């Protein structure tokens, strides 16, 4: 798939087919995350990949909106250092957002759907993922082949009109 098609085809997938993701595809998706640019080349992330069905079920309990994690073929936990101050927190979330999008675009390019999730229960996430005390689980990205329909460019996305969003030169 071309980049522009991948951007237009990406959507949040919450229902996954019971089909594994080939290891080489999962590694390519992870490599996209690893190659993501970050502030001052900080690279604050680590990725924990979960494919065990029981562990995925348990991991889906870290936030009320993470139920789709239980049915995913794999879920990537984005792990980061606990921020030392507000400035580091802001840099961290910006960088993790970029890594998230890189992962999601690499996935859709391979026909793999994704759905992101926040993490509320850090203690449970830390226990399930074996995280060190100075790390936190910032986000989860559930991956799998869509159960309903394959990924393809969306002709009429549910987005604000281009003319309402884009301002040239001034507001």
Structure confidence by residue, pLDDT tens digits, 100-129: 999 999 999 999 999 999 999 999 999 999
Whether pTM > 0.75 for this model: the answer is yes
**pLDDT value of residue 82:** 94
Q: Helices 86-109 and 23-34 sit at what angle, rounded to 10 degrees?
A: 140
Query: Containing H/E element for 47?
Result: strand 46-50
The Cα–Cα gap between 171 and 164 comes to 10
Q: Kindly state the average pLDDT of the residues 40-61.
A: 97
DSSP H or E segment with residue 163: helix 162-165
Percent of the chain with pLDDT over 70: 99
Is the pLDDT confidence value at 1 over 90?
Answer: no
Q: Is the predicted pLDDT of residue 139 greater than 90, yes or no?
A: yes
């Amino acid at each position: 798939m071309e980049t522009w098609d991948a951007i237009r085809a990406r959507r949040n997938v919450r229902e996954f087919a019971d089909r594994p993701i080939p290891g080489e595809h999962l590694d390519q998706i992870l490599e996209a995350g690893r190659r993501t640019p970050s502030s001052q080349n900080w690279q604050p992330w680590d990725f924990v990949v979960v494919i065990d069905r029981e562990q995925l079920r348990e991991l889906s309990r870290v936030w009320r909106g993470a139920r789709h994690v239980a049915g995913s073929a794999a879920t990537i936990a984005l792990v980061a250092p606990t921020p030392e101050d507000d400035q580091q927190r802001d840099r961290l979330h910006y960088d993790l957002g970029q890594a998230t999008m890189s992962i999601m675009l690499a996935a859709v390019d391979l026909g793999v759907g994704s759905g992101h999730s926040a993490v509320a229960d850090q203690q449970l996430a830390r226990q399930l993922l074996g995280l060190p005390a100075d790390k936190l689980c910032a986000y989860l990205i559930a991956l799998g082949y869509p159960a309903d329909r394959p990924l393809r460019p969306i002709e009429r996305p549910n987005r604000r009109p281009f003319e309402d969003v884009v301002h040239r030169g001034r507001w």
